[in-house]
């Protein structure tokens, strides 16, 4: 299981193993990491699972699909590396990935 490093807006870090095929959202929820609200439970309709993928892993994370991109457009704090964590499934290429969580979800 790849090690994923979630970093909250205040710098608090969580390093947890997340099984391949599980979303970054679910990995955060399963490990009781604050900063991922996930109101819609991963259905890509709420935007409360926003995260920023460290550029070193952007290729591994892939690109957002059209529906995800439309939702990301609605964010006040969208960054170049913003993703909806429910839409990013963990793979072995994500070992050590750094995922930052926005202050707006606390």
Contacts to ligand FES by CB under 6 A: 25, 38-40, 42-49, 84, 86
Nearer to ligand FES, 41 or 96 (CB): 41
Q: How far is the CB of 56 from ligand FES (least distance, A)?
A: 23
Q: How far is the CB of 62 from ligand FES (least distance, A)?
A: 15
Q: Say if residue 26 is exposed, middle or buried (CB neighbours under 10 Å; 0-12, 13-18, 19+).
A: buried
Q: How far is the CB of 40 from ligand FES (least distance, A)?
A: 3
Nearer to ligand FES, 39 or 70 (CB): 39
Nearer to ligand FES, 47 or 97 (CB): 47
Q: Say if residue 37 is exposed, middle or buried (CB neighbours under 10 Å; 0-12, 13-18, 19+).
A: middle
Rg (CA), the chain: 12
Structural element, H or E, at residue 30: helix 24-30
């Amino acid at each position: 299981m790849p090690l994923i490093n979630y970093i909250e807006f205040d710098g608090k870090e969580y390093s947890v193993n997340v099984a391949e095929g599980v979303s970054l959202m679910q990995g955060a929820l399963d490990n009781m990491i604050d900063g991922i609200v996930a109101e819609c439970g991963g259905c890509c309709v709420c935007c409360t699972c926003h995260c920023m993928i460290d550029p070193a892993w952007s290729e591994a994370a892939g690109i957002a699909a059209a529906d995800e991109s439309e939702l990301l457009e609605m964010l006040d704090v969208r960054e170049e590396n913003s993703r909806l964590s429910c839409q990013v499934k963990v793979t072995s290429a994500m070992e050590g990935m750094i995922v930052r969580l926005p202050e707006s979800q606390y």
